[in-house]
């Protein structure tokens, strides 16, 4: 049986991935939403923006709940990611519930900062009001506790049991493209047919690809 490590190695081979980091309220939903997008290879949730060291969910203080994604820019652009970001939450302060849930973009380089500025102006015209998203350079991203990673998928422990051979460790689940798609699927993003169609296009050996598709189709929810 193919392992998730083998799958992820094949999916990232010869690809130059880029990373995007942002917050749009509670990080569970955004991880599921972005984890369903073709071109997004990995998702994880954590904490950024604060000054206190080693934040946790219980001791977050001035940090913000954040999602971080690795994506293939030949399949999905940073501009497209920003459009998904702004179209799927209200980015102004009357909706904020403190710094923990602030709308935020943590850019990794000058190019991302410039693209944010361009897309932000376009979105402000469409919204007819200023956007108050907190836009700052990424300082440090602290990975959240395991219970918050792929949160919606973990609400199906029977499914995780069925997939145990694929995910023998918590880390393997965090880095898995397949797990990201499943996490989005159980939250209602994407259909069974869409996921199968995408997987059939993944750059895997034919035997491995068919094993993965069959593994997905035989899951008992």
Q: How far is CA 31 from the centre of its chain?
A: 4
φ/ψ of 21, rounded to 5, equals: -135, 130
Alpha-carbon gap, residue 35 to 95, rounded angstroms:
24
Cα distances from 33 to residues 20, 69, 210, in angstroms, run: 14, 11, 25
For the chain, the maximum distance between any two Cα atoms, rounded to a whole number of angstroms, is: 53
- Residues with catalytic roles: 26
Nearest Cα to Cα of residue 123 among 86, 68, 97, 75: 86
């Amino acid at each position: 049986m193919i392992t998730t490590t083998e799958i992820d190695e094949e999916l990232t081979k010869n690809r130059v991935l880029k990373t995007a980091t942002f917050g749009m309220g509670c990080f569970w939903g955004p991880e599921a939403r972005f984890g369903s997008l073709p071109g997004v290879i990995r998702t994880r949730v954590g904490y950024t923006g604060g000054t206190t060291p080693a934040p946790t969910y219980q001791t977050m203080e001035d940090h913000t709940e954040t999602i971080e994604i690795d994506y293939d820019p030949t399949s999905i652009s940073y501009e497209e990611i920003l459009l998904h970001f702004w179209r799927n939450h209200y980015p102004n302060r009357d909706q904020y519930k403190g710094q923990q849930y602030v709308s935020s973009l943590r850019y990794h380089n000058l190019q991302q900062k410039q693209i944010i500025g361009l897309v932000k102006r376009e979105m402000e015209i469409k919204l007819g009001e200023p956007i108050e998203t907190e836009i700052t350079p990424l300082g440090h991203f602290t990975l959240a506790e395991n219970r918050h990673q792929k949160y919606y998928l973990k609400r199906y422990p029977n499914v995780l049991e069925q997939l145990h051979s694929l995910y023998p460790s918590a880390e393997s689940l965090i880095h898995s493209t397949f797990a990201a798609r499943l996490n989005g699927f159980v939250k209602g993003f994407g259909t069974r047919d869409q996921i199968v169609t995408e997987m059939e296009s993944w750059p895997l050996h034919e035997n491995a690809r068919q094993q993965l598709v069959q593994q997905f189709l035989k899951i008992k929810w």
